[in-house]
Amino acid sequence: MNVHEKWDRLAAVLRGMESAVLAFSGGVDSSLLLKAGVDALGGKFLAVTALSDTYPAAELVDAREFARSVGAAHLVIESDELRSEDFCSNTPERCYYCKSELFGKLVSLARERGFAQVLDGSNLDDLADHRPGRRAAAKYSVRSPLIEAKFTKQDVRELARSFNLPVWDKPSLACLASRIPYGTQVTPALLKAIGSAEDVLVGMGFRQVRVRHHGDTARIEISPGDFGRISTGDSTRRIVSALKKLGYTYVCLDLEGYRTGSMNEGLMERVPI
């Protein structure tokens, strides 16, 4: 099945829902799904973005602009996963508690406003990683139309590019808590420091960035193609100086480069999905 056949299948899946609320982060997956939902259901499709300390603040501007560009109804709410000790204790099940907070609110909102379904933007590639949030989706009967239509991440980007969507090559998004090793308490101050550290690198022109927090050490993940640029004297000095001001004693570059879910490495064999 080629990507255009998958797109037709996605449209059919969405039309069969009659109406839906989408958990909309502004990333490429949920953005493509938002376009598909508006095309299929028009005003019966609502995008909802949840703000919290775990959501990179700058993303809201892009999310609002994209929703406006495709003519989508867009609502911004607040989620409060940091009130949950289960979330903040940061076990390998952290994502379950975060998604339970989000999906619980979306299900309530959908019922209040008469929407038939709640959706997320998961794709087939997400099934290969440790994703406790999938259990939360099942608990709240949240559907994943991209998975139902057999979309991979590559399919999503290919179609987004063919539709000239500005997010087609947008770097992958993830909750800021995903930069913190399991067992380290998640706090607002720590999330703010990580977000500020990543803002430093993004401000210097690095697109795909993660700053993984390891106590007094910041482990930087960027695309391997950017290694030469980050290792120049001026760039190195600027980054080290800025991150030390944020409280880090040591600043290092991960020589494997950026990869999704690096905090889960070694976990897959020990913790069931």
**pTM as predicted:** 0.90
Tell me the three state secondary structure of residue 216. Answer: coil
The verdict on residue 75 lying in a domain is yes
Please indicate, yes or no, whether residues 151 and 110 belong to a single structural domain of this protein.
yes
3-state helix, strand and coil shares in percent for the chain, rounded to the nearest 5: 50, 15, 35
Please indicate, yes or no, whether residues 28 and 100 belong to a single structural domain of this protein.
yes
- Tell me how far apart the alpha carbons of residues 26 and 207 are, in angstroms, rounded to a whole number: 16
Please indicate, yes or no, whether residues 132 and 248 belong to a single structural domain of this protein.
no
The verdict on residue 78 lying in a domain is yes
Please indicate, yes or no, whether residues 124 and 201 belong to a single structural domain of this protein.
no
Please indicate, yes or no, whether residues 107 and 186 belong to a single structural domain of this protein.
no
Sequential pLDDT tens for the chain (273 residues)? 899 999 999 999 999 999 999 999 999 999 999 999 999 999 999 999 999 999 987 899 999 999 999 999 999 999 999 999 999 999 999 999 999 999 999 999 999 999 999 999 999 998 887 789 999 999 999 999 999 999 999 999 999 999 999 999 999 888 999 999 999 999 999 999 999 999 999 999 999 999 999 999 999 999 999 999 998 879 999 999 999 999 999 999 999 999 887 777 756 544 443
Closest CA to 136 of 97, 182, 94: 97
**Which residues constitute the domain of residue 248?**
176-264
Count of C-beta atoms within a 10 Å radius of residue 221 = 21
Please indicate, yes or no, whether residues 60 and 136 belong to a single structural domain of this protein.
yes
Tell me the three state secondary structure of residue 94. Answer: helix
Compute the radius of gyration of the chain from its Cα atoms: 19
CATH of the domain at 74: 3.40.50.620
Number of structural domains found in the chain: 2
The domain boundary residue, chosen from 113, 136, 162: 162
The domain boundary residue, chosen from 138, 162, 186: 162
Please indicate, yes or no, whether residues 187 and 242 belong to a single structural domain of this protein.
yes
- What residue has token string 């608990």? 139
